[in-house]
C-alpha cells in the first residue's frame, strides 16, 4: 500500500533540495530563467520581498493563476507562500498542487498568536526561525524544513548570519549539557522537550535548514553554507539585480563550491550591480519582517 | 576501495552515511580532478536539471563518460536514474546516456503524490524493501541488455545493466543497507 504525505516523504523532498538554491520568481519567464540557471526549486510570488516592503499595505498569498502559470513553466518543484496562521490559504495552495508551502513572515500575518497546524496537511511546509526555540516550535507544528528569517528584501545578509549563528550555537550548547539540564533548557527556549532531547543527542536539527533573508551575492551564499546551512533561498537578490541570469547562475555555483575560494572568485566576476542594500538600523521596528511570528 | 558520491546538489551526504555503515570509504565529487582513484560512482537524488547543468559547467560529463566506458560502476538514484538514462521523455536536458532505458520525469505526479511503499526486490531476498518515492521518475522502456530488478504497480523502478544500476526511489533515505550492498557486491 502506498502511503502519501508521510513525515519521511515531506522531509525527503527538502533533503533532495540540499546544496541547491531556491529562487523567488513572479512570472513564468523569471521561473524559466531560474531553472535555466540551475535553481533546484522556485518560490512563486506576486512580488519579491523588496517590492512588498516598498508597496506597504497587506501582503497576501499570490493569486492562483500566477502560481499555476509558474507550475506549468518549469519541471523543478514550485513553492508558494501563505500568511502566518492562514490555514485556508494553505488549503488552497495544497489543492493547486504546489510542492512546498512557506508559512512566511514576508506576507502580513493573519494570526498573531498561532501558526498553522502543519501536521494536518499532506503538502510539506517550510518556516522561518531566528533561533533554535522558534525552529523547534515550527517543527513541533509539523514544518518539514526550516530556514533562517534574516531580514527579507534588504540585500543585507547580517540578520541571516545572526540567525544561523544563533541556531548553530544553541545546538552546540544543548549537545554539551548534562541531561538533567535539558528540561530547563526546553522551558527557557519554549521548545518541545522531545525535540530538545533529539537535538542534544544528534547536534543537528531533525529537518533540513536553509538560509534566507538578505542573500544578494555568491559570497553571501557561500558564507551561509560555511556557517552550516544546507542550502539557500534567494528572494529579491536575483531579480532586483542588474543581470539576473548571470547572478542566478553564479549563486548556484557558489552554493555547490562554497568552500573553494578560487572557484568563488571565478564565479563572482562580471555580474553587474547587486541589488541595492538596506542598512537594518534604518528600518523602524514595525517594518521588520523577522519579528512577525514567534 | 573508495566510492565517489557526486556532491553537486542533493542528498549526497545520506549516501555517504549509508556507505560508511556498509564499511566503505567515500569521497565527495564536485570537480573532475576529484574523480581520480574512485572504484565506483553514486549519483544521488536531487534535481536532475540542476545536477546536469553543474556537471556541464564544471566539466564532469566527459571524464565520467570515459571512466564508465572503461568499466567504472555507477549507481543513480531518482535524479541519478535520470542522469543515467539514454532517453528522457519530452526533455532535451543533459544526461550521461549510459543505460539503455527511457524514463519519464515526475512520473507519479507532484509532491502531494509522493509516497512510501513496500517493494518486492527478488535479488535482495524475500523481505519487502521499504522505498521512498519523491516526485519520482519511472522507467518506461528498457533495452534487451537491461535487467529489470523491481516494479511498482507495473512500473519499472529498479534496473541494472552490467555495472550500472538505477533506482527511481531513494535508498539513501531509509536505514535498509541491502541495495547499496547489492551494488557493491555485484556491480564492482
Integer CA distances (angstroms), A13 to A102, A245, B120, B143, in order: 14, 25, 24, 30
| Average pLDDT score over chain A | 97
Q: Is it the case that residue A257 has pLDDT exceeding 90?
A: yes
Predicted confidence at residue A220, as pLDDT, reads: 98
Hey, are the CB atoms on A3 and B115 less than 8 Å from each other?
yes
C-alpha span between A125 and A123 (Å, rounded): 7
pTM of the model: 0.98
Chain A residue numbers touching B7 (CB-CB < 8 A): 19, 256
Q: Using 50, 70 and 90 to split pLDDT, how confident is the model at B138?
A: very high
- Number of residue pairs across A and B with CB atoms under 8 Å? 120
Mutate to test the interface with A, among B113, B114, B170 (most CBs of A within 10 A): B114
Chain A residue numbers touching B57 (CB-CB < 8 A): 38, 253
Hey, are the CB atoms on B79 and A16 less than 8 Å from each other?
yes
Mutate to test the interface with A, among B8, B9, B18, B94 (most CBs of A within 10 A): B9
pLDDT digits (tens, 9 = 90+) for A213-239: 999 999 999 999 999 999 999 999 999
Q: Is it the case that residue A111 has pLDDT exceeding 90?
A: yes
Coil, helix or strand at residue A145 = strand
Predicted confidence at residue B93, as pLDDT, reads: 95
Q: Is residue A10 among the annotated active site residues?
A: no
Task: Please answer whether residues A126 and A145 qualify as being in contact, where contact means their C-beta atoms are separated by less than 8 angstroms.
Answer: yes
Predicted confidence at residue A14, as pLDDT, reads: 98
pLDDT digits (tens, 9 = 90+) for B46-73: 999 999 999 999 999 999 999 999 999 9
pLDDT-above-70 percentage for chain B = 100
pLDDT digits (tens, 9 = 90+) for A143-191: 999 999 999 999 999 999 999 999 999 999 999 999 999 999 999 999 9
Task: Please answer whether residues A263 and A221 qualify as being in contact, where contact means their C-beta atoms are separated by less than 8 angstroms.
Answer: no
Taking CA atoms, what residue in B is nearest to A251?
Answer: B54
Q: Is it the case that residue B9 has pLDDT exceeding 90?
A: yes
Q: Which residues of B90-125 are buried (b: 16+ CB within 10 A; e: fewer)?
A: ebeebbbebbbbbbbbbbbebbbbbbbbebebeebe
Closest CA to B84 of B165, B19, B140, B162: B165
pLDDT digits (tens, 9 = 90+) for A233-247: 999 999 999 999 999
The catalytic site residues of B sit at: 78, 170, 172
Q: Using 50, 70 and 90 to split pLDDT, how confident is the model at A42?
A: very high
Q: Using 50, 70 and 90 to split pLDDT, how confident is the model at A1?
A: confident
Predicted confidence at residue A100, as pLDDT, reads: 98
Residues 6+ apart with CB under 8 A from B36: none
Amino acid at each position: 500500500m502506498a502511503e502519501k504525505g508521510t513525515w519521511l516523504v515531506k522531509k525527503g523532498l527538502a533533503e533532495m533540495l540540499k546544496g541547491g538554491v531556491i529562487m523567488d520568481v513572479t512570472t513564468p519567464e523569471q521561473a524559466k530563467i531560474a531553472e535555466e540557471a540551475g535553481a533546484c526549486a522556485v518560490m512563486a510570488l506576486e512580488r519579491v520581498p523588496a517590492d512588498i516592503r516598498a508597496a506597504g499595505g497587506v501582503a497576501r498569498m499570490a493569486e492562483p493563476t500566477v502560481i499555476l502559470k509558474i507550475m506549468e513553466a518549469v519541471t523543478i518543484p514550485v513553492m508558494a507562500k501563505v500568511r502566518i496562521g492562514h490555514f485556508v490559504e494553505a488549503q488552497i495552495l495544497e489543492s493547486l498542487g504546489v510542492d512546498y508551502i512557506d508559512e512566511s513572515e514576508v506576507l502580513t500575518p493573519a494570526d498573531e498568536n498561532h501558526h498553522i497546524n502543519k501536521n494536518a496537511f499532506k503538502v510539506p511546509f517550510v518556516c522561518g526561525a531566528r533561533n533554535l526555540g522558534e525552529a523547534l516550535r515550527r517543527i513541533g507544528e509539523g514544518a518539514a524544513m526550516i530556514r533562517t528569517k534574516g531580514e527579507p528584501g534588504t540585500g543585507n545578509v547580517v540578520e541571516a548570519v545572526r540567525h544561523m549563528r544563533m541556531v548553530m550555537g544553541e545546538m552546540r550548547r544543548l549537545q554539551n549539557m548534562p541531561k538533567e539540564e535539558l528540561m530547563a533548557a526546553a522551558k527557557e527556549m519554549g521548545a518541545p522537550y522531545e525535540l530538545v532531547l533529539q537535538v542534544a543527542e544528534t547536534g543537528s536539527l531533525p529537518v533540513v535548514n536553509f538560509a534566507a533573508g538578505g542573500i544578494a551575492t555568491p559570497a553571501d551564499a557561500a558564507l551561509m553554507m560555511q556557517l552550516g546551512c544546507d542550502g539557500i533561498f534567494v528572494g529579491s537578490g536575483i531579480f532586483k539585480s542588474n543581470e539576473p541570469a548571470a547572478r542566478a547562475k553564479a549563486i548556484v555555483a557558489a552554493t555547490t563550491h562554497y568552500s573553494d575560494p578560487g572557484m568563488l572568485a571565478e564565479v563572482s566576476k562580471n555580474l553587474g550591480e547587486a541589488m541595492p542594500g538596506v542598512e537594518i538600523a534604518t528600518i523602524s521596528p514595525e517594518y521588520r519582517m523577522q519579528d512577525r511570528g514567534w | 576501495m573508495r566510492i565517489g558520491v557526486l556532491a553537486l546538489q542533493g542528498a549526497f551526504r545520506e549516501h555517504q552515511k549509508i556507505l560508511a555503515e556498509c564499511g566503505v570509504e567515500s569521497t565527495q565529487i564536485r570537480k573532475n580532478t576529484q574523480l581520480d582513484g574512485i572504484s565506483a560512482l553514486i549519483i544521488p537524488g536531487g534535481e536532475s536539471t540542476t545536477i546536469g547543468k553543474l556537471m556541464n559547467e564544471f566539466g564532469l560529463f566527459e571524464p565520467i563518460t570515459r571512466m564508465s566506458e572503461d568499466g567504472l560502476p555507477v549507481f543513480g538514484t531518482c535524479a541519478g536514474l535520470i542522469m543515467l538514462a539514454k532517453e528522457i521523455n519530452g526533455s532535451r536536458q543533459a544526461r550521461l546516456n549510459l543505460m539503455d532505458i527511457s524514463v519519464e520525469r515526475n512520473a507519479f505526479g507532484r509532491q502531494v503524490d509522493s509516497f512510501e511503499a513496500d517493494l518486492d526486490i527478488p535479488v535482495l531476498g524475500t523481505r519487502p524493501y521499504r522505498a521512498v518515492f519523491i516526485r519520482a521518475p519511472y522507467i518506461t522502456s528498457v533495452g534487451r541488455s537491461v535487467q529489470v530488478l523491481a516494479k511498482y504497480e507495473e512500473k519499472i523502478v529498479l534496473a541494472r545493466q552490467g555495472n550500472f544500476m538505477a533506482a527511481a526511489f531513494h535508498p539513501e533515505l531509509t536505514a535498509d543497507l541491502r541495495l547499496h550492498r547489492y551494488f557493491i557486491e555485484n556491480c564492482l
